[in-house]
Structure 1
Amino acid sequence: MRSWKEVYQRWHSFEQLDEQVQLELRKINDTSLLEDAFYKELTFGTGGIRGVLGPGTNRMNVYTVRKVVEGLANYLPYHRVNVKDRGVVIAYDSRYMSKEFALEAARVLSVHGIKAYVFESLRPTPLLSFAVRYLGAACGIMITASHNPPEYNGLKVYNEDGGQITPTESDQIVAAINEIEDELTVPFLNDEELAESGLLHWIGKEIDNAYLERINYISRMDPAKRMQDKDLQIVFTPLHGTSYDLVTSALEQMRFLNVHVVTEQAIPDPDFSTVESPNPEEHQAFALAEELGDKVDADILLGTDPDADRLGVAVKNGYGEFQVLTGNQLGSLLLDYILRHSNPNVYKNAKMIKTVVTTELGRAIADSYHVETLETLTGFKYIGEKIHQFDASGETFIFGFEESYGYLVSGFVRDKDAIQAAIITAEMAYYWKQRGKTLFDALHDLYETHGFYLEGMSSLTLKGKEGAKQISFIMSEIRNMELTNVAGFKMKAVEDYLTSEKLNLEDNSKAPIDLPKENMVKLMLDEKAWVCLRPSGTEPKLKTYYGVCGKNRKDSEEKLAKLKEAMANIMDKIMTVKA
């Protein structure tokens, strides 16, 4: 195995090194930064690569992109039919180097004679998913780093079903990537050669129009009422990303005409200059939307992340202040609204899908309508995979969601879709407004009916080579600890998704977990409480998820706080041992 210094020297001495990469490489004088840039290759996890822009094998640049696409091009002929004719769809968001990386992907594919469909301008991730299915393409590539900071970019691969690639597909693509010895010498066509090849096809508005046509069918309103003008004041922000055109067009065609856009955030901006983070999960992202909402007396605020696969929503609480709903809360509201307006004859065959770290309130709501809940591992790719299985089984997908602000209403897209979610949220808010209630009121009704479920999440960031070792050590220690209780909650079971085994602590019996293997552990506690630990596949983080269900909001908040404190103490003890 080559040392990082050898890899760095290979790049440094490469005569044909891209001028921009070469310039950036010369600027790095810090040895630790050089080591971090070259000590490993970007991990292909969660369906692709993601990292900080810059020179190096552990960075996002033209060479890391070319290597991944070369591996993908070598993989496709053995796992898809008519690859060259069907081609690959490529979309990109508003980040630095996004369009350049999209064209780099097309240049590499063209060497293999594979047609590349590239959007003329930036587009949301869900539209890429839709485009793959609409065009019958062999796969799709999305250039995005979702809601990560401005210095990041990434590349995600979508399969021919329009979903994020499955673990099996990922392993096969990784194997093909690993066969490429030198990322610096991956063949590609230059601009002139690419134009002459006839393999580059630019996509205009055709896909947008087809997508908007399908949006009409997700409505739960009577067709006549759907075409009536609706008295709902909406503030919308795309947070400098890709969703402006599709969200505003979809709202207009559903006759939501009182839409006030946050103009400062309507223009794509790779620096995301008006927010600390372009993440609708974080309340600061709604600051400008709240200001505008107060001016126009808005009923709801809608905010999408840069690639428009996540939606955040804020509504007025009992004090007349805007409150950002959690992903679990909005998902539960949407599920109830959809089931409330679905034909009961559908329930018997219908399936609601959530992840193992998503609120149990969703299951309680689905149970009340006699709809079965299916659980998947964390990540919407698993929800998309389940929907694909329904195509063969005849089961009906009725809704899918995850706690990290991802929702899917209809399977014509096979990934989380903030545009679908924005439209159905507006419709839901209008429905409750007609009945004298806000979404906050409707949420309170759900708690009163099903229980005061409350969730939380904390993350431990440990960067670099040593950080990865520390995260691995913590997970190993958690697996080996013989806990009897956490924060006073009795331990009932331990679900280890790496061994695919559930240990019932009451009788020491074991049961298999019928899900793909993943480095994740879930502690099942009494009183409907739970804790789940999961290292991120794309970031140097260890995420800890929590869930409780109390007698009322105060009781739930107290239980959640105790659970978080107890896990923080356990983490501190483990880190002390490591030190």
Structure 2
Amino acid sequence: MSDKIHFGTDGWRGVIAEDYTFDNVRRCAQGFATYMKNHGKQGETIVIGYDKRFHSENFALAAAEIIAGNGMKVLLTDGATPTPVIAYSVVHHHAAGAINITASHNPPTDNGFKVRNEFGGAIDPEGLKEIESLIPDDVSSVNRMNAAEAEEKGWIRRFDPAPDYISHLEQLIDLEPIRQAGLKIVVDCMWGNGAGWFPRLLEGGKTQVVEIHNTRNPIFPEMKRPEPIPPNIDVGLRTTVDLGADVLIVTDGDADRVGVGDENGRFVNQLQVYALLAYYLLEVRGERGAIVKTLSTTGMLEKLGKLYHVPVYETGVGFKYVAPKMLETNAMIGGEESGGYAFRGNVPERDGILAGLFILDMIVRLKRRPSELLALLFSKVGPHFYDRVDRSFTGERSERERRILSAHPATIGGLKVTGLNTTDGFKFTLEDGGWLLIRFSGTEPIMRVYCETTQEDRVAAILADGLKIAGLD
């Protein structure tokens, strides 16, 4: 009997050759196939795509053999493909769902098995639990059709998803003003799936796109992991200054997340980017609709909601919560602290390419550089400052939880505590409208301590108190 496979936020992640093996990928694919058949999807199509990590294309083919072996058709991408493009392909081809072989922003040692529903979005927590329960204990229980046979018989068909996705993007945003704006844009592809997309989308005009880290290199040199936050983007920030560029756009390993650097080589953090994107949709494009946010992201969204009279909904952390809420409320935008944002009219999935284009469109239409956009945002909602610390921990999680619950701090960082939300972790609200959040990673023995405050000089003190409350000081 093999080890039990546990699904996290979007699916399963493991260490390549340790627990992330071909047999375990096949087991996951069988669990997903059984889930689909149980929900009346027998004979329908599953889209399968992958990233540029070690052996991803071969893991994807292994999953395709299992889907075909279960009597379902497979559309297999013809190369490494951004997660949002895979998600859109599900909708465009009226598929039943998708399998994505990617570990996204995680370390180079890892790979992952992510699943999506017929809307191209994350499967809800109940669905993920059901899939997990259907994964066979041993690979001998899977149904498998040899890839060569499956392709010959038409059960597996390779396709290029780019043209349809690009046509879709051009319905969501007019790219011509960006092409003709004469911007110099640095794009850090983080050795991942975002390579080539911005040059292709913006070619033919006065704007210049300079890509870095745009080849396949599964060890991700010059960064700890392909996650679009410092210090991983430090090379990109320096390149922006060295080239005198107007903006830095960063896509993570599977291009579902975006990072931004300003013209001065300063990081625009992911909470600020979320607020900028919401402001762009509300003010620049004149859209109206709900905003969906995880509890770990910015309070600036509530302030924008009040200014523009739109509802704001808060969920637990992860797109398995965000995507269903977006569908329920026909939300204008949904997002999370990790730099993943989804938009109405697109699929309910993080899209780092579209988010990056929206930031560029905002620069062009408002005729302001990134630092000036941030100043404009703060003029509407006030300055907000954010930081996060991740620490490994030992011992039982339950003991840590009891310690945090019993702390009852009257103040954090010198600010009065006004409430505690335990929806997902422990979120202490503070008198200035800011917050401290302590939560556990869903995939590794790490505790995350986050904060946002309107007082820049209190960030360090808030985080220090958070580490004490968590017993990590």
TM-score range, shorter chain: over 0.9
Match of 2:122 in 1: 164
Q: Kindly tell me: are residues 453 and 477 of structure 1, through their superposed partners in 2, closer, same or farther at Cα, counting changes over 3 Å? A: same
Residue of 180, 195, 216 corresponding to 2:170: 216
Q: Conserved in 1, the CA contact under 8 Å of 2:222 and 2:232?
A: no
Match of 1:496 in 2: 422
Corresponding residue SS for 1:567: helix
Match of 2:356 in 1: 422
* Aligned equivalents of 2:427, 2:443: Cα separation in 1: 20
> Is 1:545 aligned to residue 471 of structure 2?
no
> Superposed, which structure 2 residues align to 1:255-270 within 5 Å?
255=205, 257-262=207-212, 265-270=213-218
Match of 1:191 in 2: 147
Match of 1:389 in 2: 328
Match of 1:408 in 2: 342
> Is 1:560 aligned to residue 424 of structure 2?
no
* Aligned equivalents of 1:266, 1:106: Cα separation in 2: 27
| Corresponding letter in the other structure for 1:303 | V
1:291 CA drift (Å): 4.5
Match of 2:382 in 1: 451
| Corresponding letter in the other structure for 1:293 | T
* Aligned equivalents of 1:47, 1:355: Cα separation in 2: 15
| Corresponding letter in the other structure for 1:282 | P
Residue of 501, 506, 530 corresponding to 2:435: 530
Match of 2:39 in 1: 79
Q: Calculate the aligned-residue CA RMSD, in Å.
A: 2.2
Corresponding residue SS for 2:233: helix
> Is 1:306 aligned to residue 205 of structure 2?
no
1:534 CA drift (Å): 1.7
**Structure 2: segments with no counterpart, 5+ residues:** none
> Superposed, which structure 2 residues align to 1:57-206 within 5 Å?
59-81=19-41, 83-84=42-43, 86-177=44-135, 180-183=136-139, 185-204=141-160
Match of 2:270 in 1: 327
TM-score (norm 2): 0.94
TM-score (norm 1): 0.77
* Aligned equivalents of 1:361, 1:564: Cα separation in 2: 19
Match of 1:30 in 2: none
Match of 2:180 in 1: 229
| Corresponding letter in the other structure for 2:408 | E
Q: Kindly tell me: are residues 228 and 236 of structure 1, through their superposed partners in 2, closer, same or farther at Cα, counting changes over 3 Å? A: closer
* Aligned equivalents of 2:93, 2:317: Cα separation in 1: 29
1:524 CA drift (Å): 2.1
Q: Conserved in 2, the CA contact under 8 Å of 1:353 and 1:376?
A: yes
Corresponding residue SS for 2:132: helix
* Aligned equivalents of 1:181, 1:283: Cα separation in 2: 40
* Aligned equivalents of 1:431, 1:312: Cα separation in 2: 20
Q: For residues 294-336 of structure 1, give each alpha carbon's deviation from its aligned partner in whole angstroms, at most 9, with x where no partner exists.
A: 34321001111110011111113xxxx3101100111112221
> Is 1:368 aligned to residue 307 of structure 2?
yes
Q: For residues 416-451 of structure 1, give each alpha carbon's deviation from its aligned partner in whole angstroms, at most 9, with x where no partner exists.
A: 10110111111112234x3xx322122123223322
Structure showing greater relative contact order (alpha-carbon pairs closer than 8 Å, 6 or more residues apart): 2
* Aligned equivalents of 2:24, 2:411: Cα separation in 1: 46
Q: Conserved in 2, the CA contact under 8 Å of 1:315 and 1:440?
A: yes
Q: For residues 469-513 of structure 1, give each alpha carbon's deviation from its aligned partner in whole angstroms, at most 9, with x where no partner exists.
A: 43332123212333333333323222222xxxxxxxxxxxxxxxx
Q: For residues 315-360 of structure 1, give each alpha carbon's deviation from its aligned partner in whole angstroms, at most 9, with x where no partner exists.
A: 13xxxx31011001111122212211234xx53xx11221111110
| Corresponding letter in the other structure for 1:340 | E
* Aligned equivalents of 1:291, 1:564: Cα separation in 2: 28
Structure 1 or 2: larger helix share?
1
Task: Give the number of the structure whose alpha-carbon radius of gyration is greater.
Answer: 1
Residue-pair matches, total: 473
Match of 1:239 in 2: 190
1:228 CA drift (Å): 6.7
Matched-pair identity in %: 28
1:134 CA drift (Å): 0.8
1:185 CA drift (Å): 5.0
